[in-house]
């Protein structure tokens, strides 16, 4: 199984290098281990995260693409769908099948037709449009709903920090 996963990851890496999505760079941390990737995601335009460059890691299971990778930002983040330790919480990264809580439909969750590129584009979209109803960071979700100005100030501080300006 791991051999198939490796071939798939190598193909996805090649696709990302040939045709990279705008604002995203991603690939294996080293060529000895294709199951650990690093990514740099540029904050989307017209959002509080605009201009930031946010590093993250992806950890792929040996049965990829049957199971989703795990993704974690390696810089400080404050966002409704990112746990305080940086782990990303979005539907596309949830195991396939029915949601035990009944919140997500199975079509929103991971499936083997997904790809690293789709994950990263989903994360960019998540940065632009948080889902405060399914919060991983309750403080960020509450602030997003109730005090958008303060949320934006914190996000802009994080942007400056990722650029080494603080």
Sketch the domain layout of the chain as residue ranges.
2-162
The answer as to CATH 3.10.110.10 being correct for domain 2-162 is yes
**According to the model, what pLDDT value does residue 109 have?**
81
Q: Which of 39, 89, 126, 141 is catalytic?
A: 89
Active site includes 89?
yes
Nearest to 162 by CA among 67, 32, 73, 45: 73
Backbone angles phi, psi at 152, to 5 degrees: -60, -40
Mean pLDDT for 25-47 is 95
In sequence order, which residues have a C-beta less than 8 Å from that of residue 107 and are 6 or more positions away?
none
Mean pLDDT for 53-71 is 97
Residues pairing with 53 in the sheet: 42
Q: Torsion-angle region of residue 102: left (phi > 0), alpha (psi -120 to 50) or beta?
A: left
In sequence order, which residues have a C-beta less than 8 Å from that of residue 89 and are 6 or more positions away?
81, 82, 83, 134, 136
**Residues recorded for the chain:** 166
Q: State pLDDT tens for residues 116-144.
A: 999 999 999 999 999 988 899 999 999 99
Separation between Cα atoms, residue 137 and residue 80, nearest integer Å: 5
Specify whether the CB–CB gap between 52 and 124 falls below 8 A.
Answer: no
More confident residue, 142 or 166: 142
pLDDT above 80 (res 102): no
**According to the model, what pLDDT value does residue 104 have?**
64
User: Which three-class secondary structure state does DSSP give residue 71?
Assistant: strand
């Amino acid at each position: 199984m791991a051999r198939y996963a490796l071939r798939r990851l190598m193909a996805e890496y090649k696709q990302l290098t040939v045709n990279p999505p705008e604002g995203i760079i991603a690939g294996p941390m080293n060529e000895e281990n294709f199951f650990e990737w690093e990514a740099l995601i540029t904050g989307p335009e017209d959002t509080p995260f605009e201009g930031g460059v946010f590093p993250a890691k992806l950890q792929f299971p040996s049965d990829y693409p049957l199971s989703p990778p795990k993704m974690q930002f390696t810089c400080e983040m404050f966002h409704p769908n990112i746990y305080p330790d940086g782990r990303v919480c979005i539907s596309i990264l949830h195991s396939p099948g029915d949601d035990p809580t009944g919140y997500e439909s199975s079509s929103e969750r991971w499936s083997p037709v997904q790809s690293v590129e789709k994950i990263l584009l989903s994360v960019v979209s998540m940065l632009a449009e948080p889902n405060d109803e399914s919060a991983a960071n309750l403080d960020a979700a509450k602030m997003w709903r109730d005090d958008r100005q303060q949320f934006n100030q914190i996000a802009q501080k994080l942007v400056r920090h990722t650029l080494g300006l603080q």
